[in-house]
Structures are given as structure tokens and as C-alpha cells.
């Protein structure tokens, strides 16, 4: 009979090696599909790297795509660590974006840029947090599974955004595809490099990843949230208020996802459309799992995923391989990561 025994201690080498091994396995498996498509595998991956890092434009585009993935990845990581299964980062992203557009329009807040930008970020974060607090209250009061409620709220949020940008927030000067009123110039995030889309939102995202890592490792709240995730019954016995901790975790998780939406509007688009997010919220779950829920690992996982998506377009144009191979690679990486984490955390005994 085969059983799994949890290891008392997982070495640093195993924690670092697991995601690296998962990525290598995923790339090897995806290479089979690339070969079946009639393209040379090594050349395909070389083209992918060139597409993501081969020029100033490609580097800035990859880093621009990385910023929202870091924030949605952090949103999933902090929630999952406390066993709050937030599958609604996509909806929280959208309502955060909508809040930033509404507050940052010419009819919104009238503040100087040094105050307006933080105010819009805060508004987006609050909107995202409120959208997650509802499912949490249903779980705490009635035992409703938050996986279902947060997932379904993604569609509610999308329909709400669609209603708003075709109604009270519609840009009267926009023709064709509906979009919201644009944010004013003072609400736009400064660029890190001229003549590029790369903005300071990347620095905000990396800074928040470092801050979340510090909070989880060095504060009472971080210890209590980890305890709530590892063993809720033991945490409650030790006097930790699980309701208070989960509310704080929900505010942090939803706030990070909402902030991602606000930053995308303020840094890239300048307005909201229903296709603002190409799945940032759902991809953030993959990023969190690839990082093994580690905030610092989220930065590298987000960069890897952004590299796959940006580089796949270049590879597709050069070799004719369908660009959705990036989705296959990311999905295989997630599956391989789950297997690698199981092998790292458990021993197989007969």
C-alpha cells in the first residue's frame, strides 16, 4: 500500500527547485506540440525569447504585462495562504478599474496629481475589497462556498462594467466599441521610459510584493493568517479571531486585485472597456500557484507568464505556430508545479 507522509521540513533547495523543474517539464511537453506543428522546437523558444526581450519595445511590453499579473498573483496568494479561496480577482480587477475611471474623470475628484494618483489607486483597491467582502460574509454567516460566489461575481462585475460604460460613464466622443470616459491627464501614471507604455505601476507592484512578504514574515497579522490557513481549529484554540483575520485578508486580497485594475487604467489604457483584462484575474491564480504562494516568487512567476504571452506572438508570426501555445505552456507549468510541490512536501512510502 502506498501512502504519502508530509515532510517535517522542506529544504530551501526543494522550494526553489520545484518551480524551476516544473517550468522545464512544461517547456519539454509543449515542445512536443510545437514539433507536431512542424516547427523546430529550439528555434521556437529562441523566437519566443527574442519576442519578449529582443528589443527595447519588447522588453517594455513584457514588463508592462508583468505589473498587473504581480498584483493579481499577490491577491490570490495572500487569500489562498489563509484558505480564503478567492477566484474572483477578475471581477475585482474590473470594478477597481471602473472606480479609477469614475473618480479620475473630469467629473470626478479635482485634486493635484500628487494627491489624485494615490486617491484613484485607493479607490480601485476599496472597490475590489468590497467585492470580496460580500462572498466572505456569506461564508461566515451562512457557510456558502466562496469558490462559487467569487467565481460567479466575475460575470456580475463584467455585466455591471458593461452597463456603466454604456450608460452614465459612457464617453460621448467615442464611436464604435463602448468605453468609459477617460481619466484626466493628471491621473495618468508617469512613464518609466519615454516613448513606451512602461509606467511606475511596475515599481508599485514590486514594492507591494516586498511589503506583503515582510508583513507575512515579520508581523503578528502574517503569523495569524498563516496559522488560519494551516489549521483553523488550532488557530481558534490559540485565541486567534478567525473572522477578523479573514476580513483583513479579504480586504488585502480584493484590494490588490482592484488596485491592479486601477493601475491598468491609469498606466496603459486611460479608460475602461469590457475587454480591458485579457484574463489577468484568472491568470493571477496560476501565477500564485507557480510561486507556491510566496510573494517574492510571485514577481518571478508573473514575469515568466508575461514572457510566454508576449513572446508567443512573435514566435507565431515567425514560425506559424499558433500563439495559444503560450496558454498551453502556462497550463502545463501549473500542473507540473502541483506535482512538484507534492513531491517536495510529501514522501511516498510503501
More confident residue, 344 or 154: 154
Reported as a single tens digit per residue, the pLDDT across 138-155 is 999 999 999 999 999 999
Amino acid 2: pLDDT: 65
Q: Count the domains in the chain.
A: 1
* Residue 1 resides in a domain: no
What is the mean pLDDT of the segment spanning 96-103? 96
Reported as a single tens digit per residue, the pLDDT across 236-267 is 888 888 999 999 999 999 999 999 999 999 99
* Residue 2 resides in a domain: no
- Residues 282 and 285: their CA atoms lie apart, in Å, by 6
Q: In 10 A of CB 243, how many CB atoms?
A: 11
| 3-class DSSP assignment, residue 173 | coil
**Percent of the chain topping pLDDT 70:** 97
Going by pLDDT thresholds of 50, 70 and 90, the confidence category of residue 23 is confident
Going by pLDDT thresholds of 50, 70 and 90, the confidence category of residue 8 is low
Closest CA to 345 of 6, 1, 4, 71: 6
- Residues 69 and 150: their CA atoms lie apart, in Å, by 19
Length of the chain: 350
Going by pLDDT thresholds of 50, 70 and 90, the confidence category of residue 113 is confident
Question: Which segment of 3-12, 103-112, 228-237 scores lowest on mean pLDDT?
Answer: 3-12
Amino acid 218: pLDDT: 92
- Residues 187 and 301: their CA atoms lie apart, in Å, by 29
Residue 214 has pLDDT above 80, yes or no: yes
- Range(s) of the domain holding residue 262: 7-349
* Residue 89 resides in a domain: yes
CB 85 within 8 A of CB 247: no
- Residues 73 and 243: their CA atoms lie apart, in Å, by 23
Going by pLDDT thresholds of 50, 70 and 90, the confidence category of residue 4 is low
**DSSP-assigned letter for residue 190:** P
Residue 59 has pLDDT above 90, yes or no: yes
Residue 346 has pLDDT above 80, yes or no: no
What is the mean pLDDT of the segment spanning 59-80? 96
Beta-strand runs (E) in the chain: 3-6, 346-349
Residue 13 has pLDDT above 90, yes or no: no
17's enclosing H/E stretch is helix 12-36
- Residues 296 and 206: their CA atoms lie apart, in Å, by 9
As given in the structure block, the three cell numbers for residue 107 are 467629473
Closest CA to 61 of 341, 309, 327: 309
CA 169 to chain centre: 26
What is the mean pLDDT of the segment spanning 116-132? 97
Average pLDDT, whole number, for the chain?
91
* Residue 107 resides in a domain: yes
- Give this prediction's pTM: 0.94
Amino acid 220: pLDDT: 93
- Residues 183 and 104: their CA atoms lie apart, in Å, by 5
* Residue 191 resides in a domain: yes
* Residue 334 resides in a domain: yes
Going by pLDDT thresholds of 50, 70 and 90, the confidence category of residue 301 is very high
CB 70 within 8 A of CB 281: no
Measured at the CA of 232, the angle between CA 134 and CA 147, to 5 degrees, comes to: 35
* Residue 50 resides in a domain: yes
* Residue 243 resides in a domain: yes
Q: What's the CATH number where 323 sits? A: 1.10.3470
Amino acid 1: pLDDT: 62
Amino acid at each position: 500500500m502506498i501512502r504519502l507522509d508530509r515532510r517535517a521540513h522542506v529544504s530551501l533547495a526543494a522550494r526553489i527547485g520545484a518551480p524551476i523543474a516544473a517550468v522545464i517539464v512544461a517547456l519539454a511537453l509543449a515542445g512536443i506540440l510545437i514539433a507536431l506543428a512542424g516547427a523546430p522546437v529550439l528555434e521556437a523558444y529562441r523566437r519566443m525569447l527574442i519576442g519578449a526581450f529582443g528589443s527595447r519595445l519588447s522588453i517594455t511590453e513584457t514588463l508592462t504585462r508583468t505589473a498587473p499579473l504581480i498584483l493579481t498573483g499577490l491577491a490570490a496568494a495572500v487569500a489562498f495562504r489563509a484558505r480564503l479561496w478567492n477566484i474572483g480577482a477578475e471581477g475585482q480587477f474590473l470594478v477597481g478599474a471602473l472606480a479609477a475611471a469614475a473618480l479620475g474623470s473630469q467629473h470626478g475628484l479635482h485634486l493635484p496629481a500628487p494627491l489624485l494618483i494615490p486617491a484613484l489607486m485607493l479607490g480601485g483597491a476599496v472597490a475590489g475589497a468590497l467585492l470580496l467582502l460580500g462572498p466572505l460574509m456569506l461564508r461566515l454567516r451562512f457557510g456558502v462556498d466562496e469558490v462559487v460566489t467569487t467565481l460567479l461575481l466575475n460575470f456580475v462585475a463584467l455585466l455591471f462594467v458593461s452597463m456603466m460604460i454604456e450608460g452614465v460613464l459612457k464617453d460621448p466622443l467615442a464611436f464604435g466599441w463602448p468605453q468609459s470616459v477617460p481619466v484626466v491627464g493628471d491621473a495618468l501614471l508617469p512613464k518609466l521610459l519615454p516613448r513606451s507604455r512602461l509606467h511606475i505601476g511596475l515599481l508599485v507592484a514590486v514594492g507591494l510584493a516586498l511589503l506583503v512578504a515582510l508583513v507575512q514574515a515579520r508581523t503578528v497579522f502574517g503569523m495569524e493568517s498563516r496559522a488560519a490557513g494551516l489549521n483553523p481549529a488550532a488557530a481558534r484554540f490559540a485565541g486567534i479571531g478567525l473572522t477578523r483575520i479573514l476580513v483583513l485578508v479579504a480586504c488585502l486580497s480584493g484590494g490588490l486585485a482592484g488596485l491592479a485594475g486601477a493601475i491598468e487604467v491609469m498606466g496603459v489604457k486611460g479608460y475602461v472597456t469590457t475587454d480591458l483584462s485579457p484574463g489577468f484575474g484568472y491568470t493571477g491564480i496560476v501565477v500564485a500557484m507557480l510561486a507556491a504562494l510566496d510573494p517574492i516568487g510571485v514577481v518571478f512567476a508573473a514575469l515568466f507568464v508575461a514572457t510566454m504571452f508576449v513572446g508567443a506572438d512573435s514566435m507565431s508570426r515567425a514560425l506559424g505556430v499558433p500563439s495559444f501555445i503560450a496558454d498551453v505552456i502556462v497550463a502545463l507549468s501549473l500542473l507540473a508545479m502541483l506535482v512538484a510541490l507534492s513531491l517536495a512536501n510529501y514522501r511516498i512510502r510503501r
